[in-house]
Amino acid sequence: MSARLSAWCAAALLLFAFAPAAKAQRAAIEPLVSTEWLQREIGRPDLVILQFGTAEEFAKGHVPGAVAVDYARELIAPAADGALRVELPAAEALQAVLRAKGVTATSRVVIVFDQPATFVRAGRAFFTLEWAGLAGRVAVLDGGYPKWTRESRQVATGAGDRVAPSTDLVLAPELARRATTADVVATVGKAGMRIVDARDTVFYQDLRDNQMPRGGHIASAVNLPFSTVTNADGTLRSRDELAGLVSAAGIGADESLVSYCHIGVQGSWMYLALRVLGRDVRMYDGSFEEWSRDAALPVEGAKERPLVRSAP
């Protein structure tokens, strides 16, 4: 090799070694991000903030740079007579929604719930996007928009900036993140696996009518109510607190988990909490609404007495 060629190769290697790291894919984000984290990240070209709310609600105030997303209309499947109430949307329909919001093949997405009562929906949106193939690129803002405003952070009003639709996002759903009824049947009582009932204890113990064909809970399930993993302001409890609650519920450190609830929303919030802990968890999308319809599927704790009807 000539001296000139050797010098050229050395220079090329030097340039490669110090090439900008921007082309490298950014590290995965945690399932839950703080308001401080989001404040620092606003303005990055790969960040998409999806804030719940109709166009009218969004215009009244939102996180700067956010895009409005209508949870009921855009993130769950249209309800049909006799069908389950909350189900995953078709991948093609969800892909169209996300493209319209500017989500690209490399975007990092942060979900922001708009009101204190909608925090569980953020868990549902998180599960939906992880199922859609965005695991490691989607997170929930801890405390949502209510916490953002309590901290007197900057708020934008109006329709927001015009978003350039994405053309390169192609969803590749991770089907294993969604547990089917057959998956749950195979999990009942199986060593190394655990079913987590995220409903309030009164429904787990069938002390209040759930307005479904049967009461009680899926056989062998343990109860860890979604409300117990959540602070009064809609933030998740700390990792140490979550780990303690999980352990106290009798959930082993190495068990694979399936979360469920009434119709798949509270259970999705539990899915988020367990993902924050790094647990191997799937979400039973049909939840007890689907399970209770089949008299052949095993339940425990059902009471054989008239119950006073009340909303689940």
User: How far is Cα 149 from Cα 144, in angstroms, rounded to an integer?
Assistant: 9
For the CA atoms of 58, 61, 62, 66, the dihedral, rounded to the nearest 10 degrees, stands at: 60
Q: What is the rounded average pLDDT of the residues 277-282?
A: 97
CB atoms within 10 A of CB 293: 14
Q: Which CATH superfamily does the domain covering 25-173 fall into?
A: Rhodanese-like domain (3.40.250.10)
DSSP one-letter string for 199-221: S-HHHHTT-S--SSS--SEETTP
The yes-or-no verdict on residue 278 having pLDDT over 90 is yes
pLDDT in tens, 203-223: 999 999 999 999 999 999 999
Three-class SS state of 130: helix
pLDDT in tens, 116-164: 999 999 999 999 999 999 999 999 999 999 999 999 999 999 988 778 8
Q: How high is the pLDDT of residue 197?
A: 98
Q: What is the rounded average pLDDT of the residues 239-268?
A: 97
User: How far is Cα 125 from Cα 234, in angstroms, rounded to an integer?
Assistant: 15
Q: Categorize the per-residue pLDDT at 98 as very low, low, confident or very high, splitting at 50, 70 and 90.
A: very high
As assigned by CATH, the class of the 176-300 domain is alpha beta
Q: Where are the domains of the chain?
A: 25-173, 176-300
pLDDT in tens, 9-25: 444 443 333 333 333 45
% of the chain beyond a pLDDT of 70: 88
Those residues whose C-beta lies under 8 Å from the C-beta of residue 113, and which sit 6 or more positions away, are 52, 119, 121, 122, 140, 141, 144, 145, 146, 234
Q: Which of 24-28, 74-78, 125-129, 170-174 has the lowest mean pLDDT?
A: 24-28
Q: How high is the pLDDT of residue 83?
A: 83
With beta carbons less than 8 A apart as the criterion, state whether 29 and 137 touch: yes
Q: Token match 């999705």: residue?
A: 268
With beta carbons less than 8 A apart as the criterion, state whether 220 and 191 touch: no
Interior CA angle at 289 toward 288 and 294, to 5°?
A: 85
Burial 199-223 (b: 16+ CB within 10 A, else e): bbeebbbbebbbebebbbbbbebeb
Instruction: Tell me if 25-173 shares its fold with 176-300.
Output: yes
Whole-number Cα distances in Å, 109 to 80, 103, 231: 29, 8, 24
With beta carbons less than 8 A apart as the criterion, state whether 187 and 97 touch: no
